[in-house]
Structure 1
Amino acid sequence: MEKIVKPLEDSLSYELFGIKFKNPVWTASGCFSYGLEVAENLYDISKLGAMVVKGLSYKPRTGNPPQRIVETPAGMLNSIGLQNPGVEYFSKNILPKLRKYDTIIIANVFGEDEEEYLKVGEFLDKTEGVHALELNVSCPNVKKGGIAFGSDPDTLYNLVYKLKQITSKPLLVKLSPNVTDITQTAQACVEAKTDGLVLINTLLGMAIDVNKEQPILATKTGGLSGPAILPVAVRMIYQVFEKYGSAVPIIGVGGITTAEDALQHFLAGAVAVQIGTANFYDPYSPLKVIEGLKNHLNKKGYKHILEIIGKAHKLKIT
């Protein structure tokens, strides 16, 4: 793993993509807003390894009509519709406030078509204070009948390849789990020279009100997140690491609430993890995971977190 990530002095710190991370615990896009509410009211976000900001489009978006969120067993469904103020507003009004904190800022970007992705990517490549880009490829491609960019390997390859031509910053691709074989879309990204893969985005789901006898969400379906999707995320990380772990770093996201959950991601092959839905009911969960990881390493006698990356692949179940 040292070809991909270089350990630093602290047991949780390392260098990845040429960037020094103080720990491998990040906050996930969409579940931490732009970080300012937490920074100003709860704790110093400098303690985080990185923060992935809420998705950014080229122009402002109002998102979907309500109802947009519904609680489900061991998780939640959301259909926010990627509401955001636009990349220019973010860079002028939000990012300057975030620069005060000593953490890595990763911008999650999306578009309705390839042209919009490229516009956002080009804009952020010139924006000081954004360290890397994360592509949300679960968005529908309006010019191709609404199919998600991340569902078709050829479309995904073209998008990643073109973005790599216009940005010098690390480019991570957040893969959709709503595919038959995630290793195929992972392969498209690897061939297009992505700098990293983020696994996984939300699973498509639905909830129905049995009294009203109709879907609860205004858009009928939404993205399922939370503890319920942990086993799916771990399985997909394991599959992709098995094929491409030596070629590209994997960032794990999906169902992480505790350090034990995060450890499953690491053992499956992730080099970092993102905390998402847990922030809604326990905003201190990222800090608890960081502390839990340190305790686990001490208990097991490991000197560095990198010693356990992908270790589950070396075990044979008898």
Structure 2
Amino acid sequence: MTDPLKLECRVADLEFPNPLILASGILGVAPSSMLRLARAGIGGITTKSVGPRIRYGYNNPSIIEIDDGTFLNSVGLANPGIDQMILEISEFKKHSTIPLIVSVFGDGPEGFAEIAKLAEKAGCDAIEINISCPHAEVASIALSPELTHEFTHAVKKAVSIPVFAKLTPNIANIIPIAQAAEQAGADAIVAINTLRGLALDYKTGRPLLSHGIGGVSGKAIKSIGVRVIYEIYPHVNIPLIGVGGIYNWQDVLEYVYAGASAVQIGSALYQGDHIFQEINQGLLQFLESEKVSNIMDLRGKAHQYTEQLEGKPKECQ
């Protein structure tokens, strides 16, 4: 019989029963939906990004499947506002013990901090600061080490619970951004957010999303997410949460090998919430067969091969 303790992991001061966390933006904020996922075997939940007031976002179509398991979305940070979210946080925490992470945004650093304070007061376990949504005003924050530091520091000063900084892949060198978040006090880094993309109607040339440009998620970005975690891992001393294109237990292991302490799953949920139990079972069977006592024993394993990787391509003689 497999031992579920093999999947336990820690991020900052939070204990997760397994490394699978719901990514922000997938479900609404209804406690019934979040509790259903908790019963389905997920280890933690990240809410939709919430701001100071109700926001309706962009008109439909705001999300489309552009390839098998790959999506393009431009929701525009639609959310019910922090006043409603406070009620949902409180209701969820009455019925579940798994960590609840609230994703926040606001009007400037102080706005982020104020939303975070209200979410903490409502009973959430951690804050994820959304400084990287590719189709909203916050997109430019995580392109700048200075802004990343400023926003992260403001939120960290405002709350006593862990703060996670969610970073963008839409940048040439993410390492200075990750280091800026760490220096500002971030307790973990979440990577990656979606990549900027565009889909056009092949008959008319018209953009398929109402907003035009959106964020690409799902299977197509997994190797990018794994690469980003791999690149950040040697340069920071805080946990990493890997996001992007995770559909099965093998995908989870890739992120863990690259350096992730946990992962977030989003697009795959469109297949049904049964995926969490299936992924956990696959991980347990693998760990049992490999005689690994805990999944975190595999974290960063890919880096032992760094010196064996070829540097320059061979030239013709």
> 1-side partners of 2:238 and 2:139: how far apart?
26
Shift of 1:98: 4.7
Matched residue SS, 1:150? helix
Matched residue SS, 1:57? coil
After TM superposition, the structure 1 = structure 2 runs for residues 117-128 of structure 1, keeping only pairs within 5 Å, are 117-128=112-123
Report whether the alignment pairs 1:150 with 2:145.
no
Measured on the aligned residues, the alpha-carbon RMSD in Å equals 2.3
* Residue matched to 1:17: 12
* Residue matched to 1:256: 246
> 2-side partners of 1:287 and 1:33: how far apart?
21
* Residue matched to 1:57: 51
* Residue matched to 1:106: 101
Structure 2 residue identity aligned to 1:88: D
- The more displaced of 62-71 and 304-313 is 62-71
> 1-side partners of 2:107 and 2:134: how far apart?
6
> 2-side partners of 1:35 and 1:259: how far apart?
27
Shift of 1:16: 3.2
Contact 1:113 1:141 in 2 (8 A): no
Contact 2:175 2:231 in 1 (8 A): yes
Question: Cα 1:146–1:80, aligned 2, differ >3 Å: closer, same or farther?
Answer: closer
Shift of 1:38: 4.2
Structure 1 residue identity aligned to 2:167: L
> 1-side partners of 2:129 and 2:138: how far apart?
17
Report whether the alignment pairs 1:279 with 2:273.
no
Matched residue SS, 2:49? strand
Q: TM-score, normalised by structure 2?
A: 0.90
Contact 1:112 1:141 in 2 (8 A): no
Report whether the alignment pairs 1:132 with 2:126.
yes
- The more displaced of 20-29 and 227-236 is 20-29
After TM superposition, the structure 1 = structure 2 runs for residues 173-188 of structure 1, keeping only pairs within 5 Å, are 173-188=165-180
> 2-side partners of 1:180 and 1:135: how far apart?
21
- Percent of aligned pairs sharing the same letter: 31
* Residue matched to 2:314: none
Shift of 1:70: 1.6
1:210 to 188, 202, 216: 202
Structure 2 residue identity aligned to 1:81: G
* Residue matched to 1:293: 283
Contact 2:20 2:265 in 1 (8 A): yes
Report whether the alignment pairs 1:236 with 2:245.
no
After TM superposition, the structure 1 = structure 2 runs for residues 37-56 of structure 1, keeping only pairs within 5 Å, are 38=33, 44-45=38-39, 47-56=41-50
Shift of 1:250: 0.1
Contact 1:135 1:174 in 2 (8 A): yes
Shift of 1:300: 1.1
- The more displaced of 107-116 and 272-281 is 107-116
Matched residue SS, 1:178? coil
> 1-side partners of 2:254 and 2:66: how far apart?
23
> 1-side partners of 2:214 and 2:14: how far apart?
34
* Residue matched to 2:79: 84
* Residue matched to 1:4: none
Shift of 1:140: 7.7
Question: Cα 1:80–1:147, aligned 2, differ >3 Å: closer, same or farther?
Answer: closer
Report whether the alignment pairs 1:29 with 2:24.
yes
Shift of 1:35: 6.3
For residues 24-49 of structure 1, the C-alpha deviation after alignment (integer angstroms, 9 at most, x for no partner) is 11111111333645457x66537321
Moved over 6 A (4+): none
Structure 2 residue identity aligned to 1:243: H
1:170 to 162, 168, 171: 162
Shift of 1:14: 3.4
Matched residue SS, 1:133? strand
Equivalent residue pairs, number: 305
Larger relative helix fraction: 2
Where does structure 1 lack aligned partners over 5 or more consecutive residues? 1-7
Contact 1:28 1:253 in 2 (8 A): yes
> 1-side partners of 2:232 and 2:262: how far apart?
15
Question: Cα 1:251–1:93, aligned 2, differ >3 Å: closer, same or farther?
Answer: closer
Structure 2 residue identity aligned to 1:230: K
Structure 2 residue identity aligned to 1:109: V
